[in-house]
Amino acid sequence: MKLLILLSVLAASAIASQKRYDGYQLFQVTPKDAASYDALARLSDSEIYDFWTDLRTIGHSTDIMVPPAYVSIFVDLMHAYSMEYRVKMVNVQTVLDMARDEQVAVPRVGSPRYSVTWDNYYDFNAITAFINEIAAAHPDKVTVSSIGKTFENRDMPLVKISTGGTGKKAIVVDGGIHAREWISPAFVTWLINELVENYAAHPQYVDNVDWYIMPVINPDGYQFTHDTNGDRLWRKNRKPNAGIGGIPCIGTDMNRNFGFHWNEGGSSANGCSDTFHGGAAFSEIESQNVRDAILAVAGQAEMYLTFHSYGQYWLTPWGYTSALPDDYTQLYTLAVSAVNKLTAVYGTQYTIGSSTNVLYVASGGSDDWAKGGAGIPFSYTVEMRDEGTFGFQLPARQILPNNEEVWEGIKVMAESLF
Ligand code: 0X9
Ligand code: ZN
Ligand code: ZN
């Protein structure tokens, strides 16, 4: 009993030392005209407001987290521009605490085979352990390597799944580019497990294509969202930069740092911004490592899938322009088939289209570079659950349903290459 009390005190103090969001509110706001849109665009340049979903176009809502000291000013602004808004979370810390409690409470049923399960979220070390364990258990199909080190000296794992042979097409998959989007590594690790551990149920998905899977391509950022002295809502990597006005800041948005039409809109030159594009294209060691790993298999790769949350979108290039790629019809048609299968599982709705057209301009994305830079024709960004009820804190009990439905879409994607 004493030990239990001690443990819960320790757990409580661990929560207390993460960055806290007491009184922070999540607003859903819809700009109704050019003036209100511009007002929001200016807010997104400041570091005070955290745009959980980036600003879209007039008439489309966006989720903005507002610190307690700015709530009343923010509401005044909404009224001044007659913007439609509603409060989605009255206290972000409460939602973080609930998610954390649920995570701690999940019992480990039986004796799981590996260091991660999919009824809970796991940190970077556990994911690395899992990858090594599944490779050791299936040396005939799984090869693990490191594509290089992060800024904080972590190895960035690459999992190759293959039954050998030559001349096969390949699919490149990554997750965890945005640290706070926890469902992403939770899905990508599940995908590895499904392909390998459940091979016998559907051998065609491994026999017909090779998979190159990087479950966490922003390990430093991801671990920071787990650390007791970290920040659950961190997005970028962890390398310090020059910031703005001589005040240094931390982190580059890796999904603005890729070198295809880099810095052509929808990214920030402010090192303190959550969408900071870095000092140059591929300025970050982590995006360099991903670039080189993809280029090494680009001749074989026909498809690139990068997993994010949230919003439920199945996105095609481009993100730097509203113009569509020549083969857009093919990309779109395949996405429709995938989403149809996905939706059939639990009724979850996804929006399909090019990033710029259904979301917003955002240049320097890995998807644009995979297609335009590495020449991988079928490139998609998948924004998984939910639509902002829980946002980044998708409850652990939704991991499996999310993964099962997305897997149906992935099967369609893979079959298109058979
Ligand atoms: O803005 C992003 O990087 C992605 N959305 S998220 O909310 N997960 O941050 C969308 C990226 C779409 N692709 C490009 N803009 N290239
Ligand atoms: Zn350009
Ligand atoms: Zn993301």
Q: With the CA atoms of 67, 68, 73 and 77 taken in that order, what torsion angle do they form, in degrees rounded to the nearest 10?
A: 50
> CA–CA separation, 88 vs 242, rounded Å?
34
Give residue 100's pLDDT band: very low, low, confident or very high (50, 70, 90). confident
In the structure, ligand 3 is a single-atom ion and the residues with CB under 5 Å from it are 178, 181, 308
- Give per-residue pLDDT as tens, 363-406: 999 999 999 999 999 999 999 999 999 999 999 999 999 999 99
Pocket lining: 53 vs ligand 1, CB cutoff 6 Å: yes
Q: Give dist(CA 324, CA 329) in Å, integer.
A: 9
Which DSSP helix (H) or strand (E) runs through 80? helix 71-80
pLDDT tens digits along 10-44: 555 554 578 999 999 999 999 999 999 999 999 98
Query: Residue 291: which region, alpha, beta or left (left: phi > 0; alpha: psi -120 to 50)?
Result: alpha
Query: Ligand 1, from 357, 368, 381: best to mutate by most atoms within 8 Å of Cβ?
Result: 381
Closest ligand to C-alpha of residue 176 is 3
Conformational region of residue 314, where left means phi above 0, alpha means psi within -120 to 50, and beta covers everything else: beta
Dump pLDDT digits (tens) for 355-374: 999 999 999 999 999 999 99
The number of beta carbons lying within 10 Å of the beta carbon of residue 275 is 21
Position 352 pLDDT exceeds 90: yes
CA gap 95, 91 in Å, rounded: 7
Closest CA to 157 of 234, 106, 214, 91: 214
The residues with which 353 forms a beta bridge, in sequence order, are 315
Mean of pLDDT values over 319-337 = 98
pLDDT value, residue 5: 57
How many CB atoms within 10 Å of residue 102? 15
How far is residue 29's CA from residue 23's CA, in Å, rounded to a whole number? Answer: 18
- Note the pLDDT of residue 147: 98
Nearest one of 197, 200, 191, 156 to 173, comparing CA atoms: 191
Burial group, residue 75, by CB count within 10 angstroms (0-12, 13-18, 19+): middle
Ligand 1 site, residue 315, Cβ cutoff 6 A:
yes
Q: Which ligand has the minimum distance to the alpha carbon of residue 217? A: 3
The CA distances from residue 328 to 179, 302, 306, 368, in Å, are: 29, 15, 18, 13
For range 124-137, the mean pLDDT: 98
Residue 227 Cβ contacting ligand 1 at under 6 Å: no
Distance 178 CA to ligand 3 centre (A): 5
Q: For the CA atoms of 209, 215, 217, 223, what is the dihedral angle to 10 degrees?
A: -170
Q: Name, in order, each residue with C-beta under 8 angstroms of 228's C-beta and a sequence gap of 6 or more.
A: 14, 15, 17, 18
Look at the block and give the residue holding tokens 């989403």. 339
Whole-angstrom Cα distance, residue 378 to residue 81?
41
Global confidence as pTM: 0.94
Q: Would the CB of 261 count as within 6 Å of ligand 1?
A: no
Pinpoint the alpha helices (H) of 198-262.
Answer: 204-207, 219-226
| Structural tokens at position 221 | 């950022």
Ligand 3 center–CA 56 separation, angstroms: 15
Among 50, 54, 316, the mutation site with the greatest number of ligand 1 atoms within 8 A of its Cβ is 54
pLDDT of residue 3: 57
The percent of residues in the chain predicted with pLDDT above 90, rounded, is 89
CA-closest residue to ligand 1 atom 14: 319
The rounded percent of the chain whose pLDDT value lies above 70 is 95
The whole-angstrom separation of Cα 19 and Cα 235 is 14
User: Is 367's C-beta closer than 6 angstroms to any atom of ligand 1?
Assistant: yes
Q: Please give the positions annotated as active site.
A: 383
**Ligand 1 pocket: which of 253, 287, 383 to mutate (most atoms <8 Å of CB)?**
383
Q: What is the 3-state secondary structure (H, E, C) of 290-359?
A: HHHHHHHHCCCEEEEEEEEECCCEEEECCCCCCCCCCCHHHHHHHHHHHHHHHHHHHCCCCEEEEHHHHC
Q: Order the strands of the 25-30 sheet from edge to edge.
A: 50-51, 62-66, 25-30, 84-89
Find the 141 Cα to ligand 1 centroid distance in Å.
32
| Cα-Cα-Cα-Cα dihedral sign, residues 194, 196, 199, 203 | positive
Q: How far apart are CA 77 and CA 84, in angstroms?
A: 11
Check if 54 has its Cβ closer than 6 Å to any atom of ligand 1: yes
**Between residues 1 and 215, the one the model is more confident about:** 215
Bigger pLDDT: 112 vs 20:
20
Ligand 1 centroid distance, CA of 253 (Å):
10
